[in-house]
């Protein structure tokens, strides 16, 4: 009996910061960033594409497809947890493909930090 080949998952980066909104609100922002009543925060660059939600568990987990068309094996996992009235939000960038160059990896991490820990945070008024 042949066993399927399972690709190893390589963690490329991760960071946790507090978001000034309840966990369920942050979860909704991540699962429906373009909903009509949402404040805009997901400002993509020309070399980025709209993510698809690949997995979610309300209100603690969201997994996105890659933002970068040339890196289709990348995934972005968001783990959410309550911190008082706020939300602890950790993003983790993983891949089952080839790791990027050091400079490209720095860019990918920077973009996730900017989108999540600046733009999303500011959309809640901070």
Mean pLDDT of the chain: 94
Residue 3 has pLDDT above 80, yes or no: no
Residue 68: pLDDT above 80? yes
Pairing of strands 74-83, 53-57: unpaired
| Cβ 36 vs Cβ 28: under 8 Å | no
- Domain annotation covers residue 60: yes
Number of domains in the chain: 1
User: Does position 42 have pLDDT exceeding 90, yes or no?
Assistant: yes
Q: Give the pLDDT mean for 97-126.
A: 95
Measure the CA–CA gap between 21 and 80, rounded to whole angstroms.
11
Domain-located, residue 101? yes
Question: Would 21 be classed as within a structural domain?
Answer: yes
The pLDDT-based confidence of 6 (bands split at 50, 70, 90) is: low
Task: For residue 102, tell me if it sits in a domain.
Answer: yes
For residue 3, is it within any domain?
no
* 114 within 8 A of 34, measured Cβ to Cβ: no
- CA dihedral for 17, 18, 21, 26, sign (positive or negative): positive
> How much of the chain is in helix, strand and coil states, percent to nearest 5?
25, 30, 45
pLDDT of residue 7: 74
Which CATH number does the domain housing residue 73 bear? 3.30.530.20
Report yes or no on 2 lying in a domain: no
pLDDT at 105: 98
Q: How confident is the model at residue 39 (pLDDT cuts 50, 70, 90)?
A: confident
Q: Is residue 119 part of a domain?
A: yes
Domain of residue 80 covers 10-123
The percentage of residues in the chain with a pLDDT greater than 70, rounded to a whole number, is: 94
5 in a domain, yes or no? Answer: no
């Amino acid at each position: 009996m042949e066993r399927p080949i399972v690709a190893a998952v390589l963690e490329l980066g991760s960071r946790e910061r507090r978001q000034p909104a309840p966990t369920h609100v942050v979860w909704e922002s991540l699962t429906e960033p373009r909903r009509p009543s949402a404040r805009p925060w997901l400002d993509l660059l020309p070399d980025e594409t709209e993510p698809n939600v690949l997995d979610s568990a309300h209100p603690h987990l969201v997994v996105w497809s890659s933002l970068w068309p040339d890196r289709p094996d990348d995934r972005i996992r968001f783990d959410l947890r309550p911190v008082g009235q706020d939300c602890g939000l950790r993003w983790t960038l993983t891949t089952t493909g080839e790791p990027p160059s050091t400079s490209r990896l720095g860019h990918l991490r920077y973009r996730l930090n900017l989108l999540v820990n600046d733009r999303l945070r500011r959309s809640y008024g901070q």
